[in-house]
Copies of this chain bind each other. A is one copy, B any other.
Amino acid sequence: AVKTARHKHNASPALSSGASNSGESSKESSRCSTPLLDADRSDRLREKMRKRMESGDPWFSLEFFPPRTASGAVNLISRFDRMGSGGPLFIDITWHPAGDPGSNKETSSMMIASTAVNYCGLESVLHLTCSNQSQETITGYLTKAKQLGLKNIMALRGDPLGTDWEDEEEGFNYATDLVKHIRSEFDDYFDICVAGYPTGHPEAQSYAEDLQHLKEKVDAGADFIITQLFFRADTFLKFLRDCRAIGITVPILPGVFPIQGYQSLRQLVKLSKLEVPEEIMEVIEPIKDNDAAIRSYGIHQAVEMCRVLLDSGAVPGLHFYTLNREVATTEVLRQLGLWIEDPRRPLPWATSANPKRKVEDVRPIFWASRPKSYIYRTQDWDDFPNGRWGNSSSPAFGELNDYYLFYLKSKSSKDALLKMWGEELTSETSVFEVFTSYITAQVNRGGHKVMCLPWNDDALATETNLLKDELEKVNRRGVLTINSQPNINGKPSSDPIAGWGPAGGYVFQKAYLEFFTSSENVTALLKVLKKYEPRVNYHIVNVQGHNMTNAQDMQPNAVTWGIFPGREIVQPTVVDPVSFMYWKDEAFALWIEQWAKLYEDESPSRMIIKYIHDNYFLVNLVDNDFPLDSCLWQVLDDMFELLDAVFYFERPNQATFSYLFVFYVFLKDDSEEMLFR
């Protein structure tokens, strides 16, 4: 489902999900590489809604509830990435007082919403219920939400503790109180959503009284309304008319619930005290044991209802109760034509929705497949470098303790990883084979496909086939590639593969290749690279930090840029020598943390990975001559040729011995110095 747009090693979902911001993304800075992609205030959810309504462009939004387990969280976040790529205007995360929703647990509402904003780049609304909560507790939650970069709150009363409801003097009695509290304590910082009940709140004395309560919530400062679910378009449209009649003018979004199963429908109906219309029950009852049939009917029913809603011209967007499921909602959206199949990206990488990162306009290419790690390691930055990470004002990268963070956990189990990466490794060649299987998407010796690597938690994008043959060839010989991009010489910004940024522009790339390889290979490579000066820039480093580069004055090299109508140049990706040293730590550590630790201590398999970790070099290469075909494959061919010559002459005979000697001198003369200067 994910359409990646670059020849990266994986179809990083986050890369695509950034698209959810497309057309909405707001960039602001006084710096050259950060053109104001949009005006300042357009960043607010209510402003985004206003613009979409003005242009008659209906949106959709998606509701999720927090998961129960850590692995459920990992899956949900993958779902955010995938569903985010369809272009929701926002998602919202429900709040369950019994589930410790404001804690730092990886499964809390607060943390899930924060992850959606910060790591998935999704505009998010955090639910918050106020009943039985002190003002201090609520203020604490809101303060924390603000600190985490959350900007929108769905203000709800929540259920009473007991069966009877008693007004509290000090606390909150109604959602209106919560709306007032948010506005009085946080001024206009948050955009506030409130709930509407198309058939009246179950506890309300009358439909009319409930409408008045809704008006009070809006008058107290709510910016828009999402309704409880309903089963007939008429129900909503009448409610909408009634709201407008009493002077409610804010956007009102219908809550759509695609029926996904008999049990879930019954449970929801019970909880919400709604009645399912006769005509629906008549269809469902006969097929209640046929899940597929019910789901299919649910999709059909939702699509029909949504079409009526949209055709009314009175509905600016649709809100979906997903129940954390993907298929039904996605299918409804596809049939409605609201799912964005090829979303435009404001930048080549997924922008974060945290307002603090609004000015972020450039990232090192190294984290292209691990954007969440980059965001995590730079989360404490108050300022973002605009190209170079070397000056004293740049803050340090966060510590390398993020392998354990739930949103960086592999989606695969230890067992699955062992099947992919080998139950038992016998030599470095076993490792080469793992990389090669990953690149070719063919099964390994054990008959398993290698779907991920420690540096790429997703399968190689099918779009990467352009580079596949070359990548396979070099990986087979121990050039273990973990990141690459082809050169691009001015493709339209609308290009489905390479495009990003505003319409009418042109995007460019320099060819990039990053890999681990042995010190023998590096020695030969350094010889070869002399021929490619100054066309090819390189950085070569081992785990100890011994560093070789031909970058002048440690300057960064722009490797992705775009030219747009009426704008300054945008330069979102660089190869930066300083941040490479921080990436190096992470890239090497992944060998141990994600791979070696799969095996017993002291086991041969573990020792092999440890050997590679200790002895290999991490290499990145940039071909600066972007208008020409990339020379990086030729560089590696030359390196192999040089190595082949050594190999050939290691079986000496009279005729070749002296040549071998010359070659040996040639290869070794300054290698010590070159490797460890």
Interface of A toward B, CB cutoff 8 Å: 30-33, 35-36, 39, 362, 386-388, 391, 393, 489-490, 503-506, 508, 534-535, 537, 550-553, 555-558, 561, 563-569, 571, 574, 622, 624-627
Contact = CB atoms under 8 A, between A and B. Distances in A.
Contact of A568 (B36, B393, B558, B568): B558
B627 A506 contact: yes
Output the residue of A505, A561, A566 with the most chain B CB within 10 A. A566
A387 B32 contact: yes
Given A567-B555, A567-B557, A32 B31 contact: yes
6 contacts: A33-B568, A534-B566, A555-B568, A557-B565, A564-B624, A565-B625
Contacts of A387: 31-32, 568
Nearest to A504: B534
A362 B35 CA distance: 15
B571 A32 contact: yes
A39 B362 contact: no
Contact of A553 (B31, B39, B489, B627): B39
A550 B565 CA distance: 11
B36 A555 contact: yes
A555 B534 CA distance: 35
A388 B505 CA distance: 20
Contacts of A568: 33, 387-388, 555-558, 571, 574
Contacts of A489: 490
B508 A32 contact: no
Nearest to A387: B32
How many copies of the polypeptide does the oligomer hold? 2
A515 B461 CA distance: 51
Contacts of A552: 36, 566
A551 B568 CA distance: 12
Contact of A566 (B30, B393, B506, B624): B624
A30 B504 contact: no
A558 B563 contact: yes
Given A534-B565, A558-B567, A558-B568, 9 more contacts: A30-B391, A30-B393, A33-B568, A36-B553, A504-B535, A534-B566, A556-B568, A558-B569, A569-B571
A362 B32 contact: yes
User: Which 4 A-B residue pairs are closest in the complex by CB-CB distance?
Assistant: A565-B624, A32-B33, A32-B387, A537-B566
A627 B624 CA distance: 20
A557 B558 CA distance: 19
A506 B561 CA distance: 13
A555 B30 contact: no
Nearest to A385: B30
Nearest to A570: B569
Contact of A561 (B35, B393, B569): B569
Which interface residue of A32, A505, A537, A557 has the most chain B CB atoms within 10 A?
A: A32
Nearest to A33: B32
B36 A563 contact: no
B557 A566 contact: yes
A114 B248 CA distance: 69
Given A31-B32, A388-B30, A391-B30, A566 B555 contact: yes
B35 A555 contact: yes
B553 A508 contact: no
Nearest to A549: B566
A675 to B, nearest CB: 21
A553 B569 CA distance: 16
Contacts of A622: 566
A552 B490 CA distance: 23
Contact of A31 (B386, B505, B506): B386
Contacts of A391: 30
A386 to B, nearest CB: 5
Contacts of A537: 565-566
A35 B390 CA distance: 13
A565 B386 contact: no
Nearest to A508: B563
Given A553-B39, A558-B563, A627 B490 contact: yes
Nearest to A34: B32
Contact of A624 (B33, B504, B550): B504
Most buried by B among A553, A564, A625, A626: A553
Contacts of A571: 32, 568-569
